[in-house]
Amino acid sequence: MLSLIAYTNTLSAAPGETIAVKVGSYGARTYRADLRRIIQGDRHPDAPGYKDEAIALDLGGERVARHQAIRAGSYVQIADRGNVLAELSSFTLAVPVLPTLIGDTERTIFHLTGIGLELLIDAEGRACAKLGDARLTLAAPLAVKQWILLILSFDKGELCLSALTRESEVIAAGKTSAALSRNAPVAVMIAARAPGENHFDGKIDSPVLFSRALEPLEAVARLALPQNLSRLPDLVVFWDFSRSIDGTEVIDASPHQLHGRTAQCPARAMTGWRWAGQCQDWRQIPELYSAIHFHADDMTDAEWQTDFEVTLPKSLKSGLYAIRLVPDGDEAQAYHCVFAVRPPRATASGNTVCFLLPTVSYLAYANHRLGLDVPGTEVGMGRLVEIDRHHAFLQEHPELGFSFYEVHGDGSGVFHSSRNRPVVDLQPGIKGFLGGLGSNVWQLTADTHITGWLEHQGVAYDVITDEDLHRDGLALLRQYNVVLTGTHPEYHSLQMLDALQGFVDRGGRLMYLGGNGFYWRISFSDAHPGVIECRRSEAGIRPWEPGQGQFHHAFTGEYGGLWRRNGRPSTELAGLIMSSQGFDLSEPYELGEAASDSRADFIFDGIDRTLGRKFGAFGLSGGGAAGMEIDRADFALGTPRNALILGSSKKHTDIYLMTPEDMLDPTPDMSGTQNDTIRADLVYFEKEGGGAVFSVGSIAWAGAMAWNKYENEVARMTWNVLRRFDKRN
């Protein structure tokens, strides 16, 4: 278990900039911090050895560790202004809801604090209203995943609650006597009683308040014509969730303008109670996307206090770093806050080699629970799930929030991931679930096989993050001859792809040293700093779908899903496309005729290129260079005609299956021992203008590079390519 966890305000900082560190104790009493440069993070006995480097920088002495809690759950908060809400003496609240989880606990839909008015679903799943000491509960429990219109009115000491179907059929109704009294400042909470308390799971569609008691059918008739609401003299507020969908604002469309804000990124651009398939893109008919889907376990900002700040020395070289926090003097229990020191912003570093740290893919997998939540993970691993102390901590602390691989408590997909919270699997030296027989490392730790090798070779290199690339674009890459990817750069924004494509189109050289790269689209948003959105529409290997009509991102309106379905297949950039995955064993490539092409001479310098020879039959990730997630060249899907296919893996275990996007018509021959599409291809191609691309199409490649302390033919080939790519013609 972890006795202390932490996060920083950024995953990338330039020399001279300041990083804020936020620490939470989960048992630790004290800690000391130091700055480390991370070199090689795999602790397997056959790996080249864990290696980092202390940076001489005083981060202060021993500090007291304090607990900082995490309050998961999204909501909307609105403050009263001009006593619009405080002076209500009679009212009707009309709100369509679609609960996705009921039972166990009370779940608040709407809470008017200071007046003590609350509309909720009780622990038995029944709609319930509270006003002061009065409590009114409807007889029949609500159904989940069905729209229901709740109409709550109060006038002259009588509180009435009705539940109606979308077709205006009254399911249940009741009334009780109650009194309205104000005892504190008035504010509104939607989808929670208070932050972290009695959160609602499900959709809420644009609540409306009127200043008099209405008959339920009249209120429903008004909800059906939202465009008429703002001119009704008895309208108090109309929180129109279909406006400002891409931001955190919640707009009151009434003349009072009691606007509010969302917190913890509930899902917006969600179909409302009047959506019936009229459109698929919220930008076409936004008024049908009038719902917000709230989750009791949404978590995009832990909102922790800063414990200390670190100003990076101006002379600090670019690289992969961590602020290491050692609790109670026990180095073995250290927590690492990993970040990149990017090159200085105003001047070029002089380095011509750049390692692109795939922080977006790290966030996509942040705090992932595949081996904990999904029984089938073991089937895909082909062996028992290993639990290290960070996994055990994750299991007990779901409030840390999820990755794109999880579903929420109500079974709906996780659309958002964030760096504004502790990400306990973004640390060197930890175990993965999917890393294959051997080291079983994934993402960051697997990527340190590459940084360790760069250090071993004595390469001077810069490290930049995906977020740097997204913000700065090609302007950031111009100074480099070569960009190296990590082992699993799976998720990309359009801006990131454009920058990389622009780089190779203008003479840049790309070494794609991973698998399943450039696969899913994500979006950033200035309204949600540090958060990314992903909607897994239609195809792709995916743990959930976004729901009908909800395939467009709320952040940008972009159509979510595979880049392959969005006109930007990875073949265009990298020459390869996702073919299969399996997390047990890896295989060698068998060398093809193109290995003997004179254009590939430099690649095979010092390497036997006999046709059919097995290349890379070793490694820390499954025992071969080709495995875990693998990509093939496919000329029909856009691999450049001039691409040389230097080698291909020729068989994989039957855990490797065809992807859903390839498996149009399933037949029982779509597994690794039977189907030729299930392979990793090793590809090289040149571009007009001097650009060139070397792609390995395998997550396991770097695990082979690190084999035998980087002394092997896979490392040698990688070196041959890097050396040549770094020379400008």
Binding residues for Fe ion (CB under 5 A) = 490, 516
**Residue 382 binds to other proteins (criterion: CB under 8 A):** yes
Contact with other proteins (CB under 8 A) among 249, 378, 538, 597: 378
Q: How far is CA 200 from CA 75, 416, 606, in A?
A: 8, 18, 63
Residue 372 CB, nearest approach to other proteins (Å)? 7
The strand pair at 91-99 and 208-210 is best described as antiparallel
Binding partner selected for residue 516 from Fe ion, other proteins, none, CB under the kind-specific 5 to 8 Å limit: Fe ion
Binding partner selected for residue 490 from Fe ion, other proteins, none, CB under the kind-specific 5 to 8 Å limit: Fe ion
Q: Which is nearer to other proteins, 165 or 395 (CB)?
A: 395
Q: Which is nearer to other proteins, 571 or 586 (CB)?
A: 586
Q: Give the Cα separation of 619 and 438 in Å (integer).
A: 8
DSSP three-state, residue 594: helix
Contact with other proteins (CB under 8 A) among 431, 488, 492, 609: 431
DSSP three-state, residue 238: strand
Q: Are 546 and 535 in contact (CB under 8 A)?
A: yes
Contact with other proteins (CB under 8 A) among 155, 158, 328, 373: 373
Can you say how many angstroms the Cα of residue 642 is from the centroid of all Cα atoms in its chain? Answer: 35
Q: Give the Cα separation of 257 and 239 in Å (integer).
A: 9
Contact with other proteins (CB under 8 A) among 107, 274, 293, 397: 397
Which residues is 319 bridged to in the sheet?
Answer: 341
- Pairs from 147-150 (Cβ < 8 Å, separation ≥ 24): 147/96, 147/97, 147/98, 147/205, 147/273, 148/96, 148/97, 148/98, 148/99, 149/94, 149/95, 149/96, 149/219, 149/220, 149/223, 149/273, 150/93, 150/94, 150/95, 150/96, 150/97, 150/109, 150/119
**Residue 197 binds to other proteins (criterion: CB under 8 A):** no
Contact with other proteins (CB under 8 A) among 348, 392, 475, 611: 392
Q: Give the Cα separation of 516 and 579 in Å (integer).
A: 8
Q: Which of residues 124-153 bind other proteins (CB under 8 A)?
A: none
**Residue 66 binds to other proteins (criterion: CB under 8 A):** no
Contact with other proteins (CB under 8 A) among 29, 283, 383, 478: 383
Q: Which is nearer to other proteins, 404 or 461 (CB)?
A: 404
Query: Which string of x and - marks every residue 595-634 that binds other proteins (by CB under 8 A)?
Result: ----------------------------------------
Total residues in contact with other proteins, by rule CB under 8 A: 33
Segment interacting with other proteins (CB under 8 A) among 74-82, 365-373, 493-501, 532-540: 365-373
Q: Give the Cα separation of 690 and 330 in Å (integer).
A: 52
Q: Which of residues 547-576 bind other proteins (CB under 8 A)?
A: none
Q: Which is nearer to other proteins, 46 or 686 (CB)?
A: 46
Q: Are 42 and 429 in contact (CB under 8 A)?
A: yes
DSSP secondary structure code for residue 23 in this structure? E
What DSSP line would sit under 33-57, residue for residue?
EEEEEEEE----TTSS--EEEEE--
**Residue 395 binds to other proteins (criterion: CB under 8 A):** yes
Contact with other proteins (CB under 8 A) among 24, 73, 266, 398: 398
Contact with other proteins (CB under 8 A) among 132, 344, 409, 502: 409
**Residues in touch with other proteins (CB under 8 A):** 43-45, 369, 371-376, 378-379, 382-389, 392, 395-398, 409, 431, 437, 584-585, 653-654, 673
